[in-house]
Amino acid sequence: MSTDKTEKLQKVLANLGHGSRRELETVISAGRVSVNGQISKLGDRVDINLSPVIRLDGHVIPLRAKDKEICRVMAYYKPEGEVCTRNDPEGRATVFDRLPSLKNARWVNIGRLDINTSGLLLFTTDGELANRLMHPRHEIEREYAVRVFGQVTEKQLFQLKKGVQLEDGMASFKVIKPQGGEGLNQWFNVVLTEGRNREVRRMWEAVEVQVSRLIRIRYGNIDLPKGLPRGGWVELDLNQVNYLRSLVGLSVEEKSKVVVDKSKNRRSKQIKFGDVKRAIKKRF
């Protein structure tokens, strides 16, 4: 029986809430992580039980027992104009700017939305959960509301469901539902199970249709919360967190940071408006 209790460094850092494994592999390769005073390289392993001194960008990372951590997930209504990065060299607003601060943890975004796309973006404190949810093998549904220019033919809709050739492979919509409108204000809801860069826009462009607005309204069975303003966030309850964990084979959580109003049987005081001054009355 193997007695090796070491884990890959990127997995340890992900479990401590410092990013997804993919992001952390880049961080380690850049020489930004050290263990016990030695600069780490990709492939290094550590035994968390030996209390190694791990530094990220020179700052010591607190080591916490994984079984005492509470997995938290945040639903954020991303506005257009924000980028999905922690620090933007061009000084643009980022999706992390409005999120609540955490002590001894940090938010990891589950996937991305491009700068011109708005809607539901999930964040978690559990890097392993984020990493698994982003892996294409789980085929988690993403639903978008799409506004397009001009009339769309049945032939074009058929092609989008059958599949179109993109530069990074074939892609197709699992579902396409017309939502009304005409001319410059024609809406569709589309569902796909991948998260490739600008995939929805590129698919419509492949059949010569231009997208004028794109809003993600669902991830799995987590809907964009009604009444949530652009730039606002709400923390998911225990059932929702465990639903996401079950999708990717992780054990269920028993505790939550979300306060439940038992008299009304719903979350209490969870929608946070922050600096947002204008709330929306409709989903989009």
How do residues 179-216 score in pLDDT, each as one tens digit? 988 777 889 999 999 888 899 999 999 999 999 999 99
The verdict on 131 and 228 lying in the same domain is: yes
The verdict on 132 and 226 lying in the same domain is: yes
Last residue of a domain, one of 17, 42, 68: 68
Indicate which residue of 114, 168, 223, 237 is catalytic. 114
Tokens of 96: 């992390």
Q: Is residue 2 part of a domain?
A: no
pLDDT of residue 66: 46
Last residue of a domain, one of 68, 100, 118: 68
**88 is annotated as an active-site residue:** no
Q: Is residue 284 part of a domain?
A: no
Going by pLDDT thresholds of 50, 70 and 90, the confidence category of residue 17 is confident
> In angstroms, rounded to a whole number, what is the distance separating the alpha carbons of residues 87 and 95?
10
Instruction: Say what the pTM is.
Output: 0.73
| Helix and strand numbers, DSSP H then E, in the chain | 6, 19
Mean pLDDT of the chain: 85
Q: Is residue 283 part of a domain?
A: no
Average pLDDT over residues 145-153: 90
Q: What percent of the chain has pLDDT over 90?
A: 60
Q: Is residue 47 part of a domain?
A: yes
The verdict on 184 and 194 lying in the same domain is: yes
The verdict on 177 and 79 lying in the same domain is: no
The verdict on 150 and 196 lying in the same domain is: yes
Residue pointed to by tokens 């966030």? 233
The verdict on 127 and 263 lying in the same domain is: yes
The verdict on 36 and 156 lying in the same domain is: no
Model confidence at 282: pLDDT above 80: no
Which one is predicted more confidently, 189 or 139? Answer: 189
pLDDT of residue 68: 53
Q: How many domains does the chain have?
A: 3
* Beta-bridge mates of residue 55: 34, 60
Give the C-alpha distances (Å, rounded to integers) separating 240 from 30, 73, 82, 139, 158.
36, 9, 26, 18, 34
The verdict on 240 and 174 lying in the same domain is: no
pLDDT of residue 53: 93
Q: Is residue 277 part of a domain?
A: no
The verdict on 226 and 128 lying in the same domain is: yes
Domain harbouring 41, CATH code: 3.10.290.10
pLDDT of residue 103: 79
Model confidence at 65: pLDDT above 50: no
> In angstroms, rounded to a whole number, what is the distance separating the alpha carbons of residues 255 and 275?
29
Residue 199's domain comprises 141-219
Q: Is residue 279 part of a domain?
A: no
Q: Is residue 53 part of a domain?
A: yes
The verdict on 126 and 158 lying in the same domain is: no
